[in-house]
């Protein structure tokens, strides 16, 4: 899109029509917020409407405003070009918005004319969910108990576990697993065919990030997080043996190269960074190697800046 980008906070003492366009926030690691679209008009009528999406179920009030006139007046409200309501108060309220209320809105003053159109966006808020693994690690021994469930902060219902493995599907859980209360699936005897990807999903369209689980018949596993680690957080990796809780020496590898040798059987990275992303495994001096597991690192948000994106210029 055309137009130059400006960094840092900005204020316009006298907004002009050419300031109409899209605006978003970005940070120097590459992320950016959703854009908002702002319209600046030289006309005498505007529609007061939210620039951000409205959550389904919340109330929404639209107001017709006139330049240099705070008195109450009658106004007509339009959605997608069709008359929606006529109000003597100059405002209209939708008590609980739904997806059907999404569209282009404008208002009309009986003498001064119409406002520009503004989009009203509505989204269904699916609470963020995550897969909870017990024991909380990405690698597991065959025939040792394993359970997975969906964790939702507001305890909303309707979430289920999804998976892609070599295990046949069951009604709510992988075939041979037990379905417990809510979204929990568990087994006392996982097998190598249970290795694969798992995620949480809801009928409203919500979906968590997937996690990868490895089930091995070997005697050594690497205890590592199945979820990404945030940059700057500490990370501890442990080498575990089947039916053996004693301390032993272990070698730790990243992307096939020896990283550390530890007599305690564990290694710690005090503050992870992007450079720590990769495939990790460990080696027991007698029992051999664990499978590899991928460590993902999320970068923390840094300084943000406001950048205008000019959609098109308007002529006063």
Q: Rounded mean pLDDT of 181-205?
A: 89
DSSP bridge pairs for 29: none
Tell me the per-residue pLDDT of 55-110, one tens digit each, with 9 for 90 and over: 778 899 999 999 988 788 999 999 999 999 999 999 999 999 887 898 899 999 99
Contacts 24+ apart (CB under 8 A), 297-301: 297/228, 297/229, 297/230, 297/231, 297/272, 297/273, 298/228, 298/229, 298/230, 298/231, 299/29, 299/231, 299/274, 300/29, 300/230, 300/231, 300/232, 301/27, 301/29, 301/31
How many Å apart are CA 45 and CA 273, to the nearest integer? 52
Tell me the per-residue pLDDT of 104-151, one tens digit each, with 9 for 90 and over: 999 999 999 999 999 887 765 444 688 999 999 999 999 999 999 998
Specify the pLDDT at position 187: 96
Distances (CA, A) of 154 to 125, 126, 129, 132: 12, 10, 10, 15
Q: Rounded mean pLDDT of 190-206?
A: 87
Specify the pLDDT at position 123: 63
Q: What is the DSSP letter of 19?
A: G
Query: Which string of DSSP letters, residue by residue, matches 33-90?
Result: PPPEEE---SSSEEEE--SSPEETTS-EEEEEEETTB-S---EEEEETTEEEEEETTS
Is it the case that residue 311 has pLDDT exceeding 50?
A: no
Question: Where are the domains positioned within the chain?
Answer: 17-124+304-309, 126-217, 219-300
Tell me the per-residue pLDDT of 234-262, one tens digit each, with 9 for 90 and over: 999 999 999 887 889 999 999 999 999 99
CATH of domain 219-300: 2.60.40.10
Residue whose structure tokens are 């107001």: 63
Specify the pLDDT at position 126: 47
Give the architecture-level CATH label for domain 17-124+304-309.
Answer: Sandwich (2.60)
CATH of domain 126-217: 2.60.40.10
Tell me the per-residue pLDDT of 265-291, one tens digit each, with 9 for 90 and over: 999 999 999 899 999 999 999 999 999
How many Å apart are CA 5 and CA 33, to the nearest integer? 15
Specify the pLDDT at position 36: 66
Which tokens is 69 given?
């006139």
Which tokens is 182 given?
């809510």
Specify the pLDDT at position 20: 74
Distances (CA, A) of 222 to 47, 77, 263, 289: 59, 62, 15, 9
Specify the pLDDT at position 170: 78
Specify the pLDDT at position 122: 74
Specify the pLDDT at position 88: 95
Q: What is the DSSP letter of 245?
A: -
Distances (CA, A) of 86 to 77, 89, 199, 212: 6, 9, 48, 56
The dihedral through the CA atoms of 175, 149, 191, 214 has a sign that is positive
Count of Cβ atoms closer than 10 Å to residue 68 Cβ: 5
Is it the case that residue 309 has pLDDT exceeding 70?
A: no
Tell me the per-residue pLDDT of 37-58, one tens digit each, with 9 for 90 and over: 788 999 999 999 998 888 778 8
- What is the band of 157 on the pLDDT scale with cuts at 50, 70, 90? confident
Specify the pLDDT at position 71: 83
> 17-124+304-309 and 126-217: same fold?
yes
Is it the case that residue 210 has pLDDT exceeding 90?
A: no
Specify the pLDDT at position 19: 73
Which tokens is 148 given?
């997975």
């Amino acid at each position: 899109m055309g137009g130059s980008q400006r960094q840092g906070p900005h204020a316009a003492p006298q907004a002009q029509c050419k300031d109409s366009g899209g605006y978003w926030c970005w940070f120097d690691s590459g992320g950016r917020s959703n854009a908002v679209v702002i319209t600046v008009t030289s006309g005498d009528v505007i529609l007061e409407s939210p620039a951000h999406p409205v959550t389904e179920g919340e109330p929404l009030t639209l107001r017709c405003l006139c330049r240099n006139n705070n008195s109450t007046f009658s106004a007509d409200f339009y959605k997608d070009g069709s008359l929606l309501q006529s109000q003597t108060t100059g405002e209209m309220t939708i008590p609980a918005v739904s997806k059907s209320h999404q569209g282009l809105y404008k208002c009309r003053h009986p003498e001064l004319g119409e406002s520009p159109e503004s989009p009203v966006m509505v989204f269904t808020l699916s609470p963020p969910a995550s897969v909870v693994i017990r024991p909380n690690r990405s690698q597991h021994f065959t025939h040792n108990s394993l359970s997975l469930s969906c964790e939702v902060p507001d305890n909303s219902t309707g979430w289920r576990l999804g998976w892609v493995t070599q295990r046949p599907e069951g009604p709510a859980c992988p075939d041979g697993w037990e379905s417990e209360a809510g979204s929990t699936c568990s087994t006392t005897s996982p097998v190598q065919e249970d290795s694969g990807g798992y995620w949480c999903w809801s009928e409203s369209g919500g979906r968590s990030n997937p996690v990868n689980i490895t089930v091995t018949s070997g005697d050594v596993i690497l205890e590592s997080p199945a979820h990404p680690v945030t940059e700057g957080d500490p990370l501890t990796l442990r080498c575990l043996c089947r039916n053996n809780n004693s301390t032993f020496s272990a070698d730790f590898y990243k992307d096939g190269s020896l990283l550390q040798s530890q007599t305690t059987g564990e290694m710690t990275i005090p503050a992870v960074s992007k450079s720590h992303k990769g495939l990790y495994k460990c080696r027991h001096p007698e029992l051999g190697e664990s499978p590899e597991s991928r460590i993902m690192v999320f970068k923390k948000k840094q300084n943000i800046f406001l950048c205008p994106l000019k959609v098109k210029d308007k002529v006063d």
